[in-house]
Amino acid sequence: MSLDINNLTKAEMDELLEYSNDKTNIVERYVVACQIITNLLEHGSDDIFAEADWDDTVDLTICKLLIDGDIVVEPEERKLH
């Protein structure tokens, strides 16, 4: 597994950008992002607030993890009360 999205081939980057532009997977990406933030906050990481240059790299990294199957978001029935 390589998360270095700066060294992808053109075909890999095209696939990643297509996945990132596909809004049908936005819920899975949101769930992953929230879990990452929760884990960082629970472990007392102040690094999350120190990143001044956060950009699309975060989303593309999450997309790469999902595409590669390194992270799987299990479907869950959600109910609002």
Note whether 65 and 32 are within 8 A (CB).
Answer: yes
Q: How many domains does the chain have?
A: 1
Q: Is a pLDDT exceeding 70 seen at residue 20? A: yes
Cα–Cα distance measured from residue 77 to residue 64, given in angstroms and rounded to the nearest whole number? 25
CB atoms within 10 A of CB 26: 10
Q: Is residue 11 part of a domain?
A: no
Say what the pLDDT of residue 49 is. 58
Which structural domain range is residue 40 located in? 16-67
Whether the pTM exceeds 0.75: the reply is no
Of residues 48 and 28, which shows the higher confidence score?
28
Q: Is residue 7 part of a domain?
A: no
SS3 content of the chain, % helix, strand, coil (to 5): 65, 0, 35
Q: Is a pLDDT exceeding 90 seen at residue 22? A: yes
